[in-house]
């Protein structure tokens, strides 16, 4: 679900303090889009939202979530936004976030 190698690389590249800021910013920005998707009534921006989520997810190692976003983005780009399973995408995000924050806390405690 999470590409922990990517997480560790990013943490190593930018340092623990900056990594914590990146994680905080990631969660804030992604949560904003997630909330919009939860109450989506206009799917005209779905492709853009999923593209943003996909890129953000890849940067922080949310591999499975990124894969779901990519599939949804592709469907939306092909005029099939109404077939995108937002519930599946949102559930994947919740599970990914839970795994990520749990393991991150364990890593920081060590």
* Helix H or strand E encompassing 25: helix 16-38
Evaluate if residue 9 carries a pLDDT over 70.
yes
For 83, what's the count of Cα atoms within 13 Å in the CB-facing half-sphere? 9
- For the segment 31-51, what is each residue's pLDDT rounded down to a tens digit? 999 999 998 888 889 999 999
Place of tokens 């990520």: 100
* DSSP state letters, 50-89: HHHHHHHHHHTT-HHHHHHHHHHHHHHHTT-GGG--HHHH
Evaluate if residue 74 carries a pLDDT over 90.
yes
* Confidence (pLDDT) at 110: 58
* Confidence (pLDDT) at 21: 95
* Confidence (pLDDT) at 16: 87
């Amino acid at each position: 679900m999470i590409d922990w190698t990517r997480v560790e690389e990013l943490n190593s590249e930018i340092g623990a303090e900056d990594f914590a800021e990146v994680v905080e910013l990631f969660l804030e920005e992604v949560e904003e889009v997630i909330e919009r998707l939860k109450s989506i009534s206009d799917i005209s921006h779905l492709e853009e939202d999923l593209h943003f989520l996909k890129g953000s997810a890849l940067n922080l190692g949310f591999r499975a979530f990124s894969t779901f976003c990519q599939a949804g983005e592709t469907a939306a780009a092909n005029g099939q936004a109404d077939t995108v399973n937002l519930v599946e995408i949102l559930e994947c995000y919740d599970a990914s976030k839970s795994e990520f924050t749990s393991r991150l806390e364990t890593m920081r405690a060590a």
